């Protein structure tokens, strides 16, 4: 077992010379296989290197005695300690890089998802507006149709009243004719009143559809702005 002259507590306790048979400063290929384009070293690699150097020192000491490496050994141990510090920082930074890469990948996925959400919301808004325009057109046409029917009914009532007032009616049939005409006008007026109520209801629906569409637009625009 080699020891640092200053009794350094770090590498000296791991500087084992037993069970290791490597050449001097021989980086394990496994440590570099994952990233061939970028030199890398782990703390375990440093310990293996230290053991390999220790093995070489042991051979020199066996041949030439301990004093042959007494000046060199402290310098080598100091370099190995610096290399250990570097490897520790390298591993820490490597983990941080992986964490950042994972975060970037997640943000990119979220960005793509937001874009897809924007497209979907825009498409939904277009579909809602298309449906709304179709319904509004149908309601408007129905309102115009009912208004035209009301006008025709009013004209029919007015024409009927005018014919009653200006046409001579035999006395024997006057009462029955008046009753029939009155009943007809009452029915026509009832139809007109019902259609007025229907027109009023349709107009309220039309107004509500405008309000609903504006609310949907505001909601979708707010969602799009958030993304």
Sequential pLDDT tens for the chain (227 residues): 334 434 444 444 344 333 333 333 333 444 334 444 445 778 898 899 889 998 998 998 998 888 888 888 889 888 989 888 888 888 888 888 888 889 889 989 988 988 888 888 788 878 887 888 887 788 788 878 877 877 887 777 777 666 655 555 554 455 555 666 667 677 777 777 777 787 777 778 778 777 777 777 777 667 666 65
Residues sharing a CB contact under 8 Å with residue 122, sequence separation 6 or more, in sequence order:
220, 224
| CA separation for the pair 206, 138 (Å, rounded) | 10
With beta carbons less than 8 A apart as the criterion, state whether 32 and 40 touch. Answer: yes
What is the model's pLDDT at position 183? 72
State residue 158's pLDDT score.
Answer: 73
Reported pTM: 0.40
Q: Which of 51, 2, 43, 1 is nearest to 26 (CA)?
A: 51
Rounded CA-CA distance 81/65 in Å is: 25
Q: State residue 13's pLDDT score.
A: 38
């Amino acid at each position: 077992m080699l020891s640092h002259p200053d009794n350094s507590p770090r590498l000296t306790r791991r500087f084992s010379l037993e069970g290791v048979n490597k050449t001097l400063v021989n980086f394990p290929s496994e440590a570099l296989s994952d990233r061939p384009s970028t030199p890398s070293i782990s703390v375990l690699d440093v310990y293996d290197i230290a053991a390999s150097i220790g093995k070489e020192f042991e051979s020199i000491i066996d041949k030439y005695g301990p004093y042959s490496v007494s000046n060199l050994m402290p310098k080598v141990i100091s370099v190995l300690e610096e290399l250990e510090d570097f490897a520790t920082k390298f591993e820490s930074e490597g983990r941080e890089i992986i964490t950042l890469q994972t975060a970037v990948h997640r943000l990119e996925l979220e960005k793509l998802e937001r874009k897809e959400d924007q497209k979907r919301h825009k498409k939904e808004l277009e579909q809602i507006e298309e449906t709304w325009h179709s319904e509004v057109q149908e309601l408007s046409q129905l309102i115009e149709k009912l208004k035209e029917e009301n006008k025709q009914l009013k004209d029919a009532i007015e024409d009927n009243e005018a014919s009653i007032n200006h046409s001579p009616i035999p006395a024997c049939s006057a009462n029955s004719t008046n009753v029939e005409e009155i009943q007809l006008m009452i029915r026509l007026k009832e139809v007109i009143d019902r259609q007025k109520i229907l027109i009023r209801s349709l107009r309220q629906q039309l107004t509500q559809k405008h309000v609903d569409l504006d609310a949907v637009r505001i909601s979708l625009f707010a969602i799009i702005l958030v993304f």
